[in-house]
Amino acid sequence: MTPKSNSKIISVVHPICCGLDVHKDMVSACIIITEPDGEETFVVQEFSTFTDDLFRLKSWLLNHGCTIIAMESTSVYWRPVHNVLEDTLQVILVNARHVKNVPGRKTDISDSMWLASLLRIGVLKASFIPEKNIRQIRELVTLRKSYIKTLADYKRRVHKLFETANIKISSVVSNLFGNIGRNLIIRLIDTDIEIKIEHVEACAEGSLRRKVPELFRSIQGFFEVHHRFQLKMMMQTINHLEGEIKAITKRLDDMMLPHKEMIEQLDRVPGIDKKTAQSIIGHIGDTLTAFRSDKALASWGGLCPGNNESAGKRKSGRSPVRKHPFKELMIEIAWAAVRTKGTYYKDKYHRLKTRRGAKRAVVAIAHRITKAVYHIIKHGKSFVDLGDAYLMSKSTEKRIKALKLRARHLGFNLVPVEVN
């Protein structure tokens, strides 16, 4: 321990605190102990990231009377440390960009010491970390999204392979991976002999029985052994991914049982279905205690316009948050909402689109949906769509009010007249 004197100009919020500089294989810890007379003591030690060493770090912190720590959100390396410490200590996870923007840092000071110094005077802004069960839901939602994206990629590969071999099944069947399409694909994979029209007829169902000759013509391409090998590999991957997605969805449904009523309420919002409702809860949780208002939630998600002004001139209204998983999710929901007929969001989108463009308009709709989501989750309110006639009625009311005011200035009084 090395005692050092310090000025008392800045008030101390946390007399005993710790900063952690987390790496893949090592954690550097610095505890600052501030005495009542203002004297500081720095205690620095390094630990490996093996689990037993992380528990040793926890005991070391408690032995020094430290109950609050700060660390940067470095890749995924912070997660094991957080998992070990969160049940006993107050863990503040901070954005590295915010820490970098705080002025006054010397070049020779270590990251852990700088974090501890900022934490001591209470200038660090904590990032939002949901509860453990919500984090688990988020991980499954993210995994399912990744699998769905990969599945779509492999399906595109099959389409491309068929175009290369001049197999035109998708020109006759609306869904290549529906029952009929898959039956034909199985025929193409499982046999080396020439497929006859009887085989195609056995695969056809419903209204497509009338298109058997056309289906038969669609598979008369240049399908060789090389194409068959690729198609077999791709379909094995597709079937595997579909099974994984089904298992993840089942797991999520079981985990979401306590939130069944909340998901039903979210499902009433245009653009939101059961899966996207699960994704919303996985990203922001089921209490929203970390967000004081709907504006705070929208700002955290990067759905609020920025304010970049200089000398009274506005330079840009672009949000400083460019990439954010919650922002991407809400914009995806907004695109679905503006395609839903008879809704307020669709009408509002088209009004904004004419003035601001499609991209800005859909972000504005995502902002509005986010505010609705906030009140549904936090206050338990039910969603009621205003309808596509709401804005027109409000516009008519404003015009009538303006006309009455103008007539009053001219000495007239407008009264409503019923028209037969």
pTM: 0.78
Domains of the chain, by residue range, sit at 2-127, 133-257, 259-308+317-420
Q: Rounded CA gap, 359 and 104, in Å? A: 40
Fill in the amino acid letter for 87. D
Fill in the amino acid letter for 133. N
**How many beta carbons lie within 10 A of that of residue 289, not counting itself?**
9
Q: In CATH, what is the architecture of 133-257?
A: Orthogonal Bundle (1.10)
CB 303, CB 349: distance < 8 Å? no
Radius of gyration (Cα) for the chain, nearest Å?
30
Contacts of 69 (CB under 8 A, 6+ apart): 17, 18, 19, 20, 61, 85, 89, 90, 91, 92, 119
What is the full DSSP assignment across 136-153?
A: HHHHHHHHHHHHHHHHHH
Q: Rounded CA gap, 20 and 31, in Å? A: 9
CB 378, CB 290: distance < 8 Å? no
What is the full DSSP assignment across 204-215?
A: --GGGGGGHHHH
Tens digit of each residue's pLDDT, the chain (420 residues): 445 544 445 688 889 999 999 998 999 999 999 888 878 888 999 999 999 999 999 999 999 999 899 988 878 889 999 999 988 899 988 887 777 767 766 554 688 888 888 888 888 888 888 888 899 999 999 999 999 999 999 999 999 998 998 888 888 888 888 888 888 888 888 866 677 787 777 777 777 778 888 888 888 888 888 888 999 999 999 999 999 999 999 999 999 999 999 999 999 999 999 999 999 999 998 888 888 999 999 988 888 875 555 455 555 556 566 678 899 999 999 999 999 998 999 999 999 999 889 999 999 999 999 999 999 999 989 998 888 888 888 777 777 787 778 888 888 887 777 766
Q: If you search the block for the tokens 């839901």, which residue do you land on?
A: 137
Contacts of 375 (CB under 8 A, 6+ apart): 294, 381
CB 208, CB 175: distance < 8 Å? no
CATH of 2-127, one of 3.30.420.10, 3.60.21.10, 3.40.50.2300, 3.40.50.300: 3.30.420.10
